[in-house]
């Protein structure tokens, strides 16, 4: 299990998008293969189920108020 990540810094936001800055995670338990950005609609009460993380279209089809918005490589080069 990786160490808990730092809180993303909000650079800008408007009605339809948000731009954030994330710091690389520090992990003493092995390499990190990817970062996933998860969006959660907190206006819809729902239990978060890690095994039901899907891209937007699949999450909508399943009626889930959360989805994987992006998956980023940990490589910075």
Domain ranges in the chain are: 9-72
In degrees to the nearest 10, what's the CA dihedral of 12, 16, 42, 45? 180
Residue written as tokens 């339809």? 16
For position 2, what pLDDT does the model report? 65
Q: What confidence tens digit (pLDDT) does each residue in 18-76 have? A: 898 988 777 777 788 888 899 999 899 889 999 999 999 999 999 999 999 999 887 75
Residue written as tokens 């994987």? 68
1 pLDDT tier (thresholds 50, 70, 90): low
Cβ pair 35, 20 in contact under 8 A: no
For position 66, what pLDDT does the model report? 96
For position 77, what pLDDT does the model report? 46
């Amino acid at each position: 299990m990786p160490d808990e990540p730092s809180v993303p810094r909000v650079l800008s936001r408007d009605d339809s998008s948000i731009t954030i800055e994330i710091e690389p995670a520090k992990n003493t338990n092995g390499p990190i293969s990817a970062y996933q950005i998860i969006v959660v609609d907190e206006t819809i009460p729902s239990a978060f189920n890690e095994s039901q993380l899907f891209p937007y279209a699949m999450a909508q089809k399943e009626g889930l108020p959360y989805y994987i918005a992006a998956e980023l490589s940990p490589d910075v080069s």
